[in-house]
Amino acid sequence: MKRIPLLFIFLLSVLAFPSFLKAQYRSSLAKEAWVDSVFNSLTPEEKIAQLMVIRAHSNLGPDHVAKVANDIQTYNVGALCFFQGGPVREANLTNYYQSIAKTPLMITIDGEWGLGMRLDSVAKYPYQLTLGAATDENLVYRMGLAIGEQCKRDRHSCELCPGGGYKQ
């Protein structure tokens, strides 16, 4: 039963993250050459900022959006971690933040038991403690697939904001 949490994490990462990476890579250069060219273009301060992950919410209004946008543009941070809000608002904000970032942002969410842990209006799944008590490994596997699909769907369900602006 100990391999179930590892299987769950693996499935979640395989299903949810490859599409994010493809969406951010837009160059005729080989991936390694592109990464090197971007890294070499950064100042020492920006290289440090690429290690930073800042909080983002889609339910805190324009002042919060402006603060996050300012941090992205001022420091060229490497990643955002979304916490609370709604899935469409988060997807729209992700598009907006990516559009103003000098370097593509890694977008993350703290959602080990699904997007319902952080976002409203999405299916909620049981906690990991519940999964540990389950006797049907297939049920746990299917839940992992469902959470992976939920994460993938959240990243592709929005409309691009007109003019690159933020649309709540």
Backbone angles phi, psi at 160, to 5 degrees: -65, 140
Question: What's the N-to-C CA distance of the chain in angstroms?
Answer: 43
Give pLDDT tens digits for 109-121.
888 788 888 888 8
- Residue 126 CA to residue 117 CA, distance in Å, equals 10
**Confidence band of 168 (pLDDT split at 50, 70, 90):** very low
In a domain, 43, yes or no: no
Structural domain containing residue 106: 3-24+61-158
Distances (CA, A) of 43 to 47, 74, 101, 122: 6, 13, 15, 40
In a domain, 166, yes or no: no
| Sequence-ordered list of residues with C-beta below 8 angstroms from that of 16, at least 6 positions apart, any chain | 148, 151, 152, 155
- Residue 96 CA to residue 56 CA, distance in Å, equals 12
Give pLDDT tens digits for 26-84.
678 888 898 899 899 999 999 999 999 999 999 999 999 999 999 999 999 999 999 99
**pTM of this structure:** 0.70
Backbone angles phi, psi at 145, to 5 degrees: -65, -45
SS3 assignment, position 55 = strand
Total domains present in the chain: 1
